[in-house]
Structure 1
Amino acid sequence: MDRESGGPSPAGRRREKAVLFDVDGTLIDSAYIHTLAWWQAFRQSGFDVPMARIHRCVGMGGARLVDNLLPDSRNREVDEAILSAHSGVFGTFWPSLRAFDGARDLLAECRQGGLAVALASSAREQDLNALRSALSADDFIDAATSSNDAENSKPEPDILVAALEAVGVQASGAVYVGDAVWDVMAASRLGIPTIALTCGGTSEAELRDVGAAEVYAGPRELLDNLGRSAIGKLLAG
Structure 2
Amino acid sequence: MTGLLDNIKGALFDLDGVLVDTAKYHYLAWKELADQWGFEFTEADNERLKGVSRMRSLEIVLEVGGISISEEEKLAKAEQKNERYLEYIRRMDASELLPGAKDYLYRLKERGVRIALGSASKNAAFILEKVGIADLFDAVVDGTKVAKAKPDPEVFLLGCRELGLKPDECAVFEDAEAGVAAAIAAGMYVVGIGSPANLGAANRVVGGLDELAG
Fold similarity call, TM over 0.5? yes
Find the residue that maps to 1:19 and give its secondary structure: strand
Counterpart of 1:176, as a letter, is V
Superposed CA RMSD in Å reads 2.0
Structure 2 counterpart of 1:103: 101
Matched, 1:56 2:48: yes
1:219 CA drift (Å): 1.4
Structure 1 counterpart of 2:5: none
Counterpart of 2:98, as a letter, is F
Structure 2 counterpart of 1:76: 70
Counterpart of 2:84, as a letter, is V
CA distance in 2, matches of 1:222, 1:158: 26
1:37 CA drift (Å): 1.5
Find the residue that maps to 1:117 and give its secondary structure: strand
Task: Single out whichever of 67-76 and 215-224 deviates more from structure 2.
Answer: 67-76
Matched, 1:159 2:155: yes
- Per the normalisation by structure 1, the TM-score is 0.77
1:28 CA drift (Å): 0.5
Structure 2 counterpart of 1:220: 210
Q: Determine if contact 1:174/1:192 at 8 Å carries over to the other structure.
A: yes
- Per the normalisation by structure 2, the TM-score is 0.85
Counterpart of 2:88, as a letter, is F
1:66 CA drift (Å): 2.2
Match of 2:129 among 103, 120, 133: 133
Q: Determine if contact 1:32/1:55 at 8 Å carries over to the other structure.
A: no
CA distance in 2, matches of 1:47, 1:160: 36
Match of 1:87 among 66, 82, 86: 82
CA distance in 1, matches of 2:39, 2:75: 14
1:105 CA drift (Å): 1.3
User: How many pairs align?
Assistant: 201
Over 6 Å off, 4+ runs: none
Change in 2 beyond 3 A, CA 1:73/1:87: closer
1:80 CA drift (Å): 1.4
Structure 1 counterpart of 2:188: 192
Q: Determine if contact 1:37/1:90 at 8 Å carries over to the other structure.
A: yes
Residue segments in structure 1 that go unaligned for 5+ positions in a row: 1-15, 225-237
1:73 CA drift (Å): 7.2
Structure 2 counterpart of 1:207: 199
CA distance in 2, matches of 1:186, 1:64: 16
Q: Determine if contact 1:35/1:55 at 8 Å carries over to the other structure.
A: no
Deviations 1:78-117 (A, max 9, x none): 3212311221121111213511121111111112201110
Q: Determine if contact 1:35/1:58 at 8 Å carries over to the other structure.
A: no
CA distance in 2, matches of 1:47, 1:169: 46
CA distance in 1, matches of 2:98, 2:67: 40
Find the residue that maps to 1:96 and give its secondary structure: coil
Match of 1:180 among 176, 185, 190: 176
Task: Single out whichever of 129-138 and 70-79 deviates more from structure 2.
Answer: 70-79
Find the residue that maps to 1:104 and give its secondary structure: helix
1:165 CA drift (Å): 1.3
CA distance in 2, matches of 1:158, 1:195: 18
CA distance in 1, matches of 2:211, 2:130: 20
Find the residue that maps to 2:188 and give its secondary structure: coil
